[in-house]
Structure 1
């Protein structure tokens, strides 16, 4: 599988973009005309740089507003094309992207368009150049790839073919099955982009809201399958116009882009005879092995965990790391990492084959994590997620493997629990990348996103979860001008009220919930008065739907995190979303 990417996808100058593409492992690049025009380096210097870095220049793009024009305009367009052919020869590329005319076309006449395409192809042939004709979704007279192919077929020139762009085809709702009727050798180039399902002007949708594969709502696996069955053998290339990607750090975005292509190729290869694109199958997580909180001084969290009823299992034999457990809920406090405030820094997942999970992560470009271990200690395989949160895999019984490295404690927890969910928050510029990482590398499935009202605007919540719903990872995205939401760890118990009562007796300070919330509960649900009074006294929150009930409470925040205790009754599967605005407001009140 050969991969490519349009330089328009990335931030920075052309030289920066090219270096980032090489670092990310792309095989080639599409040089965007605007990137070259604004570069101080000559086409020959750009060509030499790509040669030195092992990158091919797969296409020069775009050439716009050519066909469907009067003779005078056409003559000038041929002059423009000839000048661009000069630039292409200096760059060392032989393929030009020709977009259907969206600006200057005045004549809706296929016969005229065929004649004009034929003359352009003949001029290009004299220079050894090929033309890839692409139907823009907003083309004035040609906006359907099937129409563009009919014109190319009629022109009948060996150096004239089509470029297929997933956005232009899928955004208009065109049936991609027709791609299989185009001979593979006449599909000169393939551009891929995902996008969210939006009801808006298609040009604005394209210019600002494209996403990398796996981050939107397009069926790119099905789309690519049609292209492969047609016989296309060229590179898979990304052309993603997105305001966020053109502002974020270029090396990281290029790695993000490359990961998306690997993910798409693997997904497509799974249902097609395309063995060279397969990677190790995504791991299926069977549970959360542990959650780690890192910081310079975590003694307040020691106290909090003790008040909640966790058991202190001891200190690591060789590291300033402590372990607290309550049944299968294992929380590691790591004071090796000198952070200014506590942070949820890592989590581990139980899988059948940790080596296979690590191999898949490597194939997807996730950087491995190495932690110092001494003889006899368990070495867990791990990678860093885009924001640095570490993800570990363990295929052994933790109690018989790494837990035994902690000494000086016991297992006398006040309750038996397990990790219900890990809530991880991201700034706006990292959110889509995080979703792709958790789906492609970690192997979690994305649920439909939801919006939660907060004091600073809507917080977008995207739940990632394992297929058996044992591992739950809600990802939160705050409004662009709001602070990044706190991360938190939720522990599921059999009796949240009993845990709260004991924690209250031990002096735990609960997150204070306003009395108005309980007045609203009384109005929404016909709760037993004694239960309502208990909820209010202990600052517990409550939700109910047709499947069951949800009782939960929160600790105060410590730095950038807090803990939650939850009880699920019946088949309740949510997260108490109606209570989330109250929690957000209460947390804001505590720091005001």
Structure 2
């Protein structure tokens, strides 16, 4: 399938504020905004950790993550800084471990208290979309019957303000690691303001790759069968997900981890793919090995021409992180965007 060049060039571009620079020691937010703006991205995904870090600079003290009065003051200040750089705030992220807690539990009360607070932040910073990642809370602590009703209630809360819910499959999620899992949930929620946040890393990293194997691929099935399964999944995505139910596509690649990760959770309970996600996600065409273009092309074949958002956590091939030239890196990201679209449209990008 070929794509109309004009439609590809109309795709708006965003960069996740939290994902520029050394993942373990990110530079100040305003320096990152300058670099993102200089590379002609038109918006950012605003991360909650960046609100906290900028809040210390702006207010002169640490902010309690539940002090939503102060968080809203900071969010409004970030909005003004973005406006000065001609950047919109496309989405607030990442809202995590929200859905599925048992009724009347302290965790469920906290989840909905956070939701109310984050909606206030959305109003303050001027965004209309909230990213919710599929929970990685262990299943034995959740009540699966509550997942869909919780998301339905959150969608209704957001709808009161004209806001949307972008539900993303995190490939280390305990209940919905694949795009099909979250798509089935979105359909069951049955609300007009809930859609998908798709991600090249989450899809390819969950269904094709594995950071715990020597090959870097899933080895439970033969390689030929894995390829067939993966590409069939992408065809299913193209055929089954309406373009208007895709709210954005996040883009990153992955380094093959040297040596392979342990299959066990770490001391915080994070699964291997979650650890991999934190530090081993470069831009496409910059040392990774995932079939990023295949995922991107499948999404484009739905007719989707919405946000492409670059969310990379590039700690280098060893994951240890280095300081970078922010302006040069975001310009590379801009070039990657053009190269990715060219590959998806069938052009030779080998040079």
Q: Same fold (TM over 0.5)?
A: yes
Greater strand fraction, Structure 1 or Structure 2: 1
Matched residue, 1:316: none
Q: 2:273 aligns with which of 202, 206, 213?
A: 202
Distance 1:253 1:103 in 2: 34
Q: C-alpha deviations, 1:66-91, integer Å up to 9, x for none?
A: 11211222222111011011011110
Distance 1:105 1:46 in 2: 37
Q: 2:324 aligns with which of 248, 257, 265?
A: 248
Q: 1:262 aligns with which of 338, 345, 348?
A: 338
Q: Residue 176 in 1 paired to residue 176 in 2?
A: no
Highest CA radius of gyration, 1 or 2? 1
> How far did residue 107 of structure 1 move?
5.5
1:411-490 to structure 2, matched below 5 A, reads 443=351
Local SS of the residue matching 2:176: coil
Distance 1:218 1:81 in 2: 34
Deviates more, 1:188-197 or 1:145-154: 188-197
Local SS of the residue matching 2:165: strand
Matched residue, 1:139: 173
Give structure 1 stretches of 5+ with no counterpart: 272-280, 283-438, 444-592
Q: 2:51 aligns with which of 36, 47, 51?
A: 36
Matched residue, 2:164: 130
Matched residue, 2:17: 7
> How far did residue 53 of structure 1 move?
1.7
> How far did residue 36 of structure 1 move?
1.4
Local SS of the residue matching 1:171: helix
Q: Residue 189 in 1 paired to residue 265 in 2?
A: no
Distance 1:227 1:118 in 2: 25
Distance 2:28 2:125 in 1: 17
Q: Residue 50 in 1 paired to residue 76 in 2?
A: no
Distance 1:135 1:24 in 2: 29
Deviates more, 1:138-147 or 1:247-256: 247-256
1:304-323 to structure 2, matched below 5 A, reads none
Q: Residue 118 in 1 paired to residue 118 in 2?
A: no
Relative to the length of structure 1, the TM-score reads 0.45
1:85-104 to structure 2, matched below 5 A, reads 85-103=119-137
- The question of whether the paired residues in 1 share the 8 Å contact of 2:100 and 2:145 is answered with no
Kindly tell me: are residues 110 and 177 of structure 1, through their superposed partners in 2, closer, same or farther at Cα, counting changes over 3 Å? Answer: farther
- The question of whether the paired residues in 2 share the 8 Å contact of 1:210 and 1:242 is answered with yes
Aligned-CA RMSD value: 1.9
> How far did residue 112 of structure 1 move?
2.1
> How far did residue 190 of structure 1 move?
0.9
Q: Aligned residues, how many? A: 275
Distance 1:212 1:246 in 2: 15
Local SS of the residue matching 2:304: coil
Q: Residue 158 in 1 paired to residue 158 in 2?
A: no
> How far did residue 106 of structure 1 move?
3.8
Q: Residue 213 in 1 paired to residue 284 in 2?
A: yes
Kindly tell me: are residues 151 and 90 of structure 1, through their superposed partners in 2, closer, same or farther at Cα, counting changes over 3 Å? Answer: same
Kindly tell me: are residues 15 and 105 of structure 1, through their superposed partners in 2, closer, same or farther at Cα, counting changes over 3 Å? Answer: farther
Q: C-alpha deviations, 1:111-168, integer Å up to 9, x for none?
A: 4211111011111111221111111111112211101110110111011111111111
Distance 1:246 1:38 in 2: 20
Q: C-alpha deviations, 1:373-396, integer Å up to 9, x for none?
A: xxxxxxxxxxxxxxxxxxxxxxxx
Q: Residue 61 in 1 paired to residue 93 in 2?
A: yes
4+ long deviations beyond 4 Å: 107-110
The higher-RCO structure (CA 8 Å, 6+ apart) is 2
Distance 1:111 1:16 in 2: 44
Greater helix fraction, Structure 1 or Structure 2: 2
Q: Residue 223 in 1 paired to residue 281 in 2?
A: no
Kindly tell me: are residues 135 and 258 of structure 1, through their superposed partners in 2, closer, same or farther at Cα, counting changes over 3 Å? Answer: same
- The question of whether the paired residues in 2 share the 8 Å contact of 1:69 and 1:105 is answered with no
Local SS of the residue matching 2:93: strand
> How far did residue 231 of structure 1 move?
2.1
Give structure 2 stretches of 5+ with no counterpart: 1-10, 22-26, 59-73, 209-229, 262-271
Deviates more, 1:98-107 or 1:143-152: 98-107
Distance 2:245 2:98 in 1: 20
Relative to the length of structure 2, the TM-score reads 0.74
Kindly tell me: are residues 247 and 138 of structure 1, through their superposed partners in 2, closer, same or farther at Cα, counting changes over 3 Å? Answer: same
